[in-house]
């Protein structure tokens, strides 16, 4: 399979997508390739090992007191139960990731039901930048949003603006409970390293 061949040479998924179009007139999006790798790993496959860093996530430091700085925060305890069942689309987990050089930033969104992932690069992780990035996501995708769940980082202090942009209810995970956003944490293992390439 063409994708397997290119992954074996540690080619980044976005490059694979471009090569397939240019060389074979086959259109396979970068997100589709990542989703294929993710599903393969779920079934015990090892395609993810062909990605740089073998899927090991970047560490993100969380400052103490972040929770107290977020006005009108609504905890995950109030999120509708259907969001946990993964049977209904449009319930998203989100996060920001900082590259090793602390000059590269990503906003990641994952639909809990179908595992559809959206990644956007950012110049920084300020709340205003995150809001603007969400405006880009809404304007450039066909995603519907019903709920959004994040950690307690101050980059999500603009959650009320994000709710207006997406028309979704915004919830915050319990502090230091990565299991509240397990899918997003796991998805980062597979995707973020290639996005930080130069």
User: Is the overall model pTM greater than 0.85, yes or no?
Assistant: no
Specify whether 79 is located in the same domain as 36.
no
Q: What is the pLDDT of residue 177?
A: 56
Residue 192 has pLDDT above 70, yes or no: no
Higher pLDDT, 113 or 197: 113
- The DSSP string of 88-127 is SS-EEEEEEEE-TTSS-EEEEEEETTT--EEEEEES---H
Q: Which of 68, 70, 96 is nearest to 157 (CA)?
A: 70
Residue 189 has pLDDT above 60, yes or no: no
Number of domains in the chain: 2
Q: What is the pLDDT of residue 109?
A: 93
Q: Is 150 helix (H, G, I), strand (E, B) or coil?
A: strand
Provide the residue range defining the domain that includes 32: 2-50
Helix axes 30-42, 182-195, angle to 10 degrees: 130
1 burial level (CB within 10 Å; 0-12, 13-18, 19+):
exposed
Computed from CA positions of residues 133, 138, 139, 140, in that sequence, does the dihedral angle turn out positive or negative? Answer: positive
Specify whether 19 is located in the same domain as 79.
no
Specify whether 146 is located in the same domain as 77.
yes
CATH classification of the domain holding 169:
3.30.420.10
Specify whether 99 is located in the same domain as 149.
yes
Specify whether 44 is located in the same domain as 121.
no
| pLDDT digits 0-9 by tens, 16-53 | 777 878 888 787 777 677 777 777 777 888 877 776 55
Specify whether 102 is located in the same domain as 7.
no
Specify whether 46 is located in the same domain as 126.
no
Q: What is the pLDDT of residue 180?
A: 52
């Amino acid at each position: 399979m063409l994708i397997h061949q290119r992954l074996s040479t540690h080619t980044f998924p976005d490059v694979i997508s471009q090569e397939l179009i240019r060389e074979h007139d086959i259109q396979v999006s970068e997100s589709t390739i990542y989703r294929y790798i993710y599903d393969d790993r779920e079934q015990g496959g090892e395609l993810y090992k062909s990605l740089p860093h073998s899927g090991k996530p970047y560490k993100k430091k969380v400052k103490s007191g972040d929770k107290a700085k977020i006005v009108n925060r609504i905890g995950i305890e109030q999120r509708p139960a259907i969001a946990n069942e993964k049977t209904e689309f449009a319930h998203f987990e989100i996060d920001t990731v900082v590259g090793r050089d602390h000059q590269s930033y990503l906003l990641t969104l994952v639909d809990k039901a179908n595992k559809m992932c959206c990644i956007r690069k950012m110049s920084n992780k300020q709340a205003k930048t995150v809001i603007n990035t969400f405006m880009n996501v809404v304007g450039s995708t066909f995603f519907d949003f019903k709920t959004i769940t994040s950690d307690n980082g101050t980059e999500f202090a603009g959650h009320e603006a994000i709710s207006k942009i997406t028309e979704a209810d915004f919830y915050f995970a319990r502090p230091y409970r990565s299991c509240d956003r397990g899918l997003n944490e796991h998805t980062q293992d597979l995707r973020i390293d290639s996005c930080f390439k130069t």
